A and B are shown apart, each in its own frame.
Chain A
Amino acid sequence: MTEQDALFDYCLRIGDSSLIIGHRLSEWCGHGPILEEDIAIINVSLDLVGQARSVLDYAGKIEGKGRSEDDLAYLRDVAFYRNHLICEQPNGDYGRTIVRQFLFDSFHYLFLNELVNSKDDFFSGYAEKSLKEVIYHMQHSTKWMLRMGDGTEESHRRVQEPLNDLWRFTGEFFAVNEVDKILISNGIAVDLNKIKPKWKQYVREIIEDATLTLPTNDWEQLGGKEGRHTEHLGFILAEMQFLPRAYPDATW
């Protein structure tokens, strides 16, 4: 794998994760639990899709084959997507969405917080800009974890269950592959081992404050970063890519 290949792959990992989880959140539009929260979660979605656009655009430039952000988003199949598996998991009820978001946001924040120091100018600038948005995302999902965990019996149950379910996808945040190794050595990528303990500590604290129980099953479900996904991504793409695929001659 060349450095260029690695960089391209790394862009996709970041861009696809934001795109897919942003897409999932957009499914809430018009169906949120209350208007105020509908607007809030769509703001998060808009931030994430916006972030995805800029990284995918950069990915196209790195690749150098003239692919645009839309070519990358709309004309790649499942095996070529590099998002974390957690991002593609279904919304479920609002509790499940919040848990998924909380686990991702807290990682996302710590990740960008390190990416700021990247030797790649695009990444450092991108991280600095995105961080402002992501701090807010993390606050939002963290507060909801507390409210739901320490709210009613029903709400407690409705976040504890998805927490147990989704926990298996969190190991992937810190799984290092060939791409990381190449890019860490030249100061471009984030050393995931460095942020792992910080993430664990933060998540443990919030789970405790929320009177929830830390899941004990430590099995790590990996694969997203190498294009081996869960069954859900195929359906997201089938829906998302329908128009450009059905009308290949058209532009929109």
Chain B
Amino acid sequence: MTKAEEEFQAKIDRDIKIEPKDWMPDAYRKTLVRQISQHAHSEIVGMLPEGNWITRAPSLRRKVALLAKVQDEAGHGLYLYSAVETLGTDREQTIDDMHSGKAKYSSIFNYPTLSWADMGAVGWLVDGAAIVNQVALQRTSYGPYSRAMVKICKEESFHQRQGYELLIHMCNGTKEQKEMAQDALNRFWWPSLMMFGPSDTDSPNTAQSMAWRVKRYTNDDLRQQFVDITVPQAEFLGLTIPDPDLKMNEETGHYEFGEINWEEFFNVVNGNGPCNRERIAARSNAKKNGSWVIDAANAYAEKQRMKKKVA
């Protein structure tokens, strides 16, 4: 370790935040750019499965709640891209990397939303899992990332609540509504557990990320935390978690759960999920179709500057 690296690590060990202009190892910078932009992409791609139901929301109250929720995710994406930019990486560059498949986003958003109950399941489970992850990341070592997380966490709680409330309503509704809710849980349960990423034994970057305090807990720790929080919530709804192996271990006080289908996970991450192509196409079309708008505003701003100069 060089002296600079030692000093850097000493700061991390004392929980002193790293700020944009501070010296940092290249690998730390790279890890951050990868993790934060991946996180940002997830917020943005995450708008699509829920956006899918905005025009079909069954009441005006639900419609504005969902719309505001999905809009928040755009904001989250922006807060995170803004953290990426502090590392000297242009946001559009990372976005292009996502569109080309080079950069990843959370695999959960490659699953389709098929019924209105999915809006409940996504809010409850997907935002729920994201919250577990993000609460932990509020203490991450990079200042701008940590501050973005604090802001995001403040906004997230309404997301999960609107989803859960919607499910309470459906579970107390007609037989068909309850069936829809159960079906949504069946489809979203396992992909939600996958959101925490591969098991620790299969996660090559974890040790270094932990040492740098970019990550504060391992994937498996966070996943366990999520299961422990969520199972009682499912019971309250009167829904069954689709895992025959799920049971409380009285000794540890934690739930034990079945084996995750990692083959499915890696396939979906690598482009084989049900909606990967549609998601990427939607986002890259948005950019492509918007580029003339960007150009127009630039051209107009330039003309205004020239006018001012002349005047």
Contact = CB atoms under 8 A, between A and B. Distances in A.
Contacts of A152: 292, 295-296, 299
A122 B86 CA distance: 49
B60 A46 contact: no
Contacts of A218: none
Contact of A250 (B55, B176, B290, B303): B176
A178 interface: no
Contact of B300 (A93, A147, A158, A244): A147
Interface in B169-219: 169-170, 173-174, 176-177
Interface string A154-172: 1100100000000000000
B153 interface: no
Given A31-B282, A35-B44, A151 B296 contact: yes
Interface of A: 19, 23, 26-27, 29-39, 42-43, 45-46, 49-50, 52-53, 56, 69-70, 73-74, 93-95, 146-148, 150-152, 154-155, 158, 236, 239-240, 242-244, 247, 249-252
A39 B293 contact: no
Contacts, number: 144
B282 A30 contact: yes
Given A29-B70, A247-B174, 10 more contacts: A46-B64, A50-B64, A53-B61, A53-B64, A69-B60, A70-B59, A93-B289, A148-B300, A154-B292, A252-B62
Contacts of B61: 53, 70
B59 A35 contact: no
Closest 10 CB pairs of A and B: A33-B290, A151-B296, A155-B296, A243-B58, A30-B51, A30-B47, A252-B58, A33-B293, A147-B300, A42-B71
B42 to A, nearest CB: 13
Interface stretch (B72-80, B139-147, B222-230, B262-270): B72-80
B275 interface: no
Given A35-B74, A152-B299, A252-B62, A29 B290 contact: no
Contacts of B292: 152, 154-155, 158
B285 to A, nearest CB: 8
B280 interface: no
A242 B63 CA distance: 13
8 contacts: A29-B51, A29-B71, A30-B51, A42-B74, A45-B67, A73-B60, A147-B297, A252-B169
Contacts of B64: 46, 49-50, 53
A26 to B, nearest CB: 5
Contacts of A242: 56
Contacts of A243: 56, 58, 116
A94 B293 contact: yes
Interface string B7-28: 0000000000000000000000
A87 to B, nearest CB: 15
B294 interface: yes
A159 B246 CA distance: 58
A147 B300 CA distance: 5
A29 B73 CA distance: 11
Given A31-B286, A250-B176, A42 B299 contact: no
B54 interface: yes
B55 A247 contact: no
A95 B61 CA distance: 29
B294 A34 contact: yes
Contacts of B70: 29-30, 42
Given A69-B60, A150-B300, A35 B77 contact: yes
